[in-house]
Amino acid sequence: MFGYLIRRLFIAIPTLFVIITLAFFMMRAAPGSPFDLERPMPAAIKERIEASYHLDKPIYVQYGYYLKDLVRGDLGPSMKYKDKDVADLIREGLPISATIGGSAMLLALILGGLLGSVAAIRQNSGVDYAVMGFSTTGISIPTFVTGPILALVFGVYLHWLPSGGLDRGRMTFTHLLLPVLTLALPQIAIIARLTRASMIEVLRSNFIRTAHAKGLSEHTVLFGHAMRAAVLPLVSYAGPATAALLTGTLVVEQIFALPGIGRQFIIGALQRDYTVVMGVVILYAALIILFNLLADILYGLLDPKVRYK
């Protein structure tokens, strides 16, 4: 196991380096500059500002400066927010994004796994058709549609929940419920379909027939044998999906006016705030690599046939 982790680490480092390189040069290739304003500033002032961020130098020199700072753990200063580093912006926004994304993923795993299991056990019944109908609807309707609808119905018309923002800068259950539901609905649908398909395949396998032949109870067969094998595809999906939800709540944060890092990423991209965009990309890539590794380890623990050689 330790050797496997070392090998994955050696693979992760060049992968992360390639992602950083591509993101850096793609951001610089985009038209515009962080200091292009509606009311142009004097040329001398703009030149001094660009010189302070090394933007007056060739792009390969800028890349060298960025890598040098990154090796020291410095993500650099924001080019649009005065007196704020990229690390400060991530530190402010990550707890909000992580809370929303983590809660949505936990809700999706519980409800999606439950619905998919029930649909598989009652295959071709009314319950199965209802779950598959809900799953198809949940996958088909994007979050930028469900979010405003939920905010309009429960926030504006019924006044049951806040339609956006935070309570004096604090995260409360009522303010996070609608964003979490909006983000969780498509994941519930996807996980329900994955669980149903996997559970049906497992229930038809030989070791389940053997378990029934031994006289084991239905409860023991389902939860002691079938469920453990059925969650394997779900583990593979949950790794990258969790990383995406923790940092990729872009649309939801915009709809509900939440100051997470997803919203910072959009604003940074629109304003050509290079360092902020790079910081979020690096964080997202690192989380993808980490959660994929955790998913592989968990997969090996659940499936005794997997060996880390």
Tell me the three-class secondary structure of 43-76, residue by residue. Answer: HHHHHHHHHHCCCCCCHHHHHHHHHHHHHCCCCC
pLDDT score recorded for residue 251 = 79
Angle separating helix axes 86-121 and 274-302, nearest 10 degrees: 40
pLDDT at 195 over 80: yes
**Domain range summary for the chain, segments of one domain joined by +:** 2-71, 87-302
Fold for the domain defined by 87-302: MetI-like fold (1.10.3720)
Q: What is the mean pLDDT of the chain?
A: 82
Sign of the alpha-carbon torsion through 111, 115, 116, 118: positive
Quick one: which H or E segment has residue 156? none
Model confidence, pTM: 0.80
Sign of the alpha-carbon torsion through 151, 156, 157, 161: positive
> Residue 191 — very low, low, confident or very high, per pLDDT cuts 50/70/90?
very high
Using DSSP's 3-state secondary structure scheme, residue 222 falls into: helix
Q: Find the range with the poorest average confidence among 26-35, 176-185, 191-200.
A: 26-35
| Cα gap 148→158, rounded to integer Å | 14
Q: Which residue do the tokens 């409860």 mark?
A: 219
> Residue 18 — very low, low, confident or very high, per pLDDT cuts 50/70/90?
very high
> Residue 201 — very low, low, confident or very high, per pLDDT cuts 50/70/90?
confident
| Cα gap 285→200, rounded to integer Å | 34
pLDDT in tens, 94-115: 888 888 888 999 999 999 989 9
Phi, psi of 77 (to 5 degrees): -85, 155
